[in-house]
Amino acid sequence: MLQQLLDGLMLALDPISLIAIALGVLVGILIGSIPGLTTTMGMAIFVPFTFFLPPLVGLPFLMGLYKGGIYGGSIPAILINAPGTGAAIATVFDGYPLAQQGRANSALKVALFSSSIGDTLSDIITILLAQTVVSISLLVGKPELFSILICSLAIIATMTGGSVVKGLLAASFGLMLSTVGTDIGGRWRFAFGNSYLAGGFSLITLLIGLFAFATIIERILESGKENETHQEIMKISKDDRLRWSEFRKCLPHIFRSTGIGSFIGLIPAIGQPVAAFLGYSCAKRFSKEPEKFGKGSLEGVAGPEACNNAVNGPTLLPLMAFGIPGDMVTAVLLGAFIVQGLRPGPGLFRNYGDVMYGVLMSMMVANIFMFIFGYILSGAYAKIASINSKYLIPAVFALASVGSYSVNNSVFDVGIMVFFGFVGFLLNRFDIPMAPLVITFLLGHGIENSLIQSLILFRGDPLGFLSRPFCFLLLLSAVLLIFAPGLVRSYKKNQSPQK
């Protein structure tokens, strides 16, 4: 294995591969940092270019783009409250308040350091696990996957909002939205005879609407008020420097989130957004200052950023081993692999070990470029932050409309984006947490597929889940997560009059 690793490293350090990786990272950061331009879209655009390149030039370029894009998504999340990618949704919660407090530079630095550390450590894990992951992945069947998804949803629904009922309401609304499109049998559902709706709502359109267009509406309403807040979106202080003492506090969260992210990455269909939320929830839970979360905490940026980047490496393992894409980006990667003649499966490492280890080592090299470019370019990003919201919001609108259009090259998506802008505005006003909605929308199809396939496996009997210990434990945890807060509250209520 050591020899294969060294061979892979030599292939990744080839000058042309290095240029491809550097270019990929740069393009990825730029694409990720522009709201509406997603890593998925960027990769989909550039995949055809790789068809004409050797595997160790084309694939490292895509790897660089992937990593740069996931990191780049944190930049608009921090600076303009619009996550560049789905993976950066959780970064908005504290990154944006930090930018509002004039600490955008520190937030960007923490995001860069966390992303680089999380990504590098998870890549090491990926390389070490590459050969043995087949046996681990084989243990995760459809019922287990369904249980994992439900447990993740329960965590998100109960942890992200003040009220469990509101969290569940948002989650179920997300499930309802995910049912638009086609059902598991391939038949149109809630499409109203419209071919655009038959493809379902695009996640990116939904995100741009819920986060960017809702912000535009809020700013328009604010501008009509007498006490208009100037430069509320971004306020940069020249004295803003990230102190070592501050970063040291983030380190435990980075390492913890790297572990969580790496684990999540191993499980297909969960992906960066869920990992980012779990990283955020865990950072909040283990922080000595949880009350700062949501108001501008550097730990609240470090947790999700390390976690979402830590997914990048391990998410390729189920892809390489079984051809199961962990998310949309890896689905695009899957296409690139097949075009290059690298058909995923247990034989991939056996037949193309040198190429695959070359690709894996190129991920490590991409992290170095990501750190360098992120550090050098952070000054340029910070300059954007000093722009008054008055000037930025119209530009955000122009980007949001073009971004939603470019998802499917359809004006219909621009209309959907406007619609979700209003939904997002209303949800904000009624304290309905957005995260459960987005995540359940994202996982809706996966949940439906795994649930129905599990029920088929159990011959229609839902009690079949209880016969599997792993499923039973996870589903029990989900039930406890939902009902425990209410039970504890009523117990305390009953106890207090007795005192």
Partner 1 sequence: MKQLLSRKIIFNRRFASVCLIVGLIYFILIYFQASPREVPGARGFGKLTGRFFPQLGGGVFLLCSAILFVQSFFNKKFIEHTDDPDKLKGMLDQNESVIGVSKIEFITNLVIMVVGLIYVSVLPFLGYLPATIVAVFALTWVMGNRNWIYLFILSFIVPFVIYKIFISLLYVPLPRGVLELIGF
Chain residues binding partner 1 by CB under 8 A are 37, 45, 161-163, 165-166, 168-169, 171-173, 175-176, 178-179, 183-185, 187, 189-192, 216-217, 219-221, 223-224, 228, 294, 390-391, 393-395, 397-399, 401-402, 405-406, 409, 411, 414-415, 418, 421-422, 425-426, 428-431, 444, 447-448, 451-453, 455-456, 459-460
Q: Toward partner 1, which CB reaches closer, 134 or 452?
A: 452
Query: Nearer to partner 1 by C-beta: 355 or 414?
Result: 414
Q: Which residue, 16 or 456, has its beta carbon nearer to partner 1? A: 456
217 Cβ contact list (under 8 Å, min separation 6): 421, 422, 425
Q: Looking at beta carbons only, is 3 or 163 nearer to partner 1? A: 163
> How far out from the chain centre does Cα 67 lie?
12
Pick between residue 286 and residue 431 the one whose CB is nearest to partner 1.
431
Q: Which is nearer to partner 1, 352 or 381 (CB)?
A: 381
- What is the spatial distance between Cα 75 and Cα 87, in angstroms, rounded to a whole number? 12
Report the b/e string of 216-241 with b at 16+ CB within 10 A: bbbbeeeeeeeeeeebebbbbeeebe
Alpha-carbon gap, residue 114 to 444, rounded angstroms: 29
CB nearer to partner 1: give 83 or 209: 209
CB of 311 to partner 1, least distance (A): 26
3-state secondary structure of 223: helix
The least CB distance from residue 140 to partner 1, in Å, is 20
- Least separation in angstroms between residue 187's CB and partner 1 is 4
Beta bridge partners of 189: 181
Query: What's the CA gap between 309 and 111, in Å, rounded?
Result: 10
Taking the complex as a whole, the smallest distance from the CB of residue 241 to partner 1 amounts, in Å, to 30
Q: Which residues are paired to 181 by β-bridges?
A: 189
Residue labelled with tokens 């904000």: 428
Least Cβ distance, residue 399 to partner 1 (angstroms): 6
Minimum distance between the CB of residue 252 and partner 1, rounded to whole angstroms? 26
Q: Quick one: which H or E segment has residue 459?
A: none
Min separation Cβ 75 and partner 1, Å: 17
Q: Which residue lies nearer to partner 1 by CB, 247 or 422?
A: 422
Q: Closest approach of Cβ 312 to partner 1, in Å?
A: 23
Q: How far apart are CA 355 and CA 56, in angstroms?
A: 7
Q: Which is nearer to partner 1, 113 or 293 (CB)?
A: 293
Of the candidates 56, 61, 76, 69, the one whose C-alpha atom is nearest the C-alpha of residue 28 is 69
Tell me how far the alpha carbon of residue 465 is from its chain's centroid: 28
The closest alpha carbon to 68, from 479, 371, 431, belongs to: 371
Map residue 461 onto helix, strand or coil: coil
CB nearer to partner 1: give 179 or 477: 179
Q: Using CA atoms, how far apart are residues 409 and 150, in angstroms rounded to an integer?
A: 33
Smallest distance, Å, CB 436 to partner 1?
A: 11
Q: Which is nearer to partner 1, 275 or 418 (CB)?
A: 418
Nearer to partner 1, 125 or 214 (CB): 214
**List of residues 6+ apart from 269 with CB closer than 8 A:** 145, 149, 324, 326, 327, 443, 446
Task: Count Cα neighbours of 375 within 13 Å in the Cβ-side half-sphere.
Answer: 10
Inter-residue contact 250 to 457 (CB < 8 Å): no
Residue 303 Cβ vs partner 1, minimum distance, rounded to whole Å:
19
Question: Least distance from C-beta 55 to partner 1, angstroms?
Answer: 23
Residue 24 DSSP symbol: H
Q: Burial level of 254, CB count in 10 A (0-12/13-18/19+)?
A: buried
CB of 201 to partner 1, least distance (A): 14
Q: Hey, what are 127's tokens?
A: 């390389």
Q: List the structure tokens of 441.
A: 């929308």
**Residue 33 has which token pair?**
């940092």
How many helices and strands in the chain, by DSSP H and E? 23, 2
Q: Quick one: 183 or 289, whose CB is closer to partner 1?
A: 183
Minimum separation from the CB atom of position 60 to partner 1 (A) = 21
244 burial (CB, 10 Å; 0-12 / 13-18 / 19+) is exposed
